Homo-oligomer: A and B are copies of this chain.
Amino acid sequence: MNNSLKDLRAERGWSQAHLAELLDVSRQTVISIENGKYDPSLPLAFRIARVFGQPIEAIFQEDEA
């Protein structure tokens, strides 16, 4: 799974720490998701979508075959 978290966050001028607060997760979690270490849980994906005002499918993309 790819995601555009880093871009969306940059567009808004938010730090990783600030985004982590908005999402109610640790800064480590934001770093790990942005850098593709793992995918968020579904509930967290919903919070991310809400924070950025976009559908989940607009932020996360399945790896192409």
Contact = CB atoms under 8 A, between A and B. Distances in A.
Interface residues of A, number: 14
A62 interface: yes
A42 B49 CA distance: 13
Interface string A28-65: 00000000000111110110010000011100101000
Contacts of A8: none
A38 B45 CA distance: 15
A24 to B, nearest CB: 13
A17 interface: no
A1 B43 CA distance: 7
A43 B39 CA distance: 8
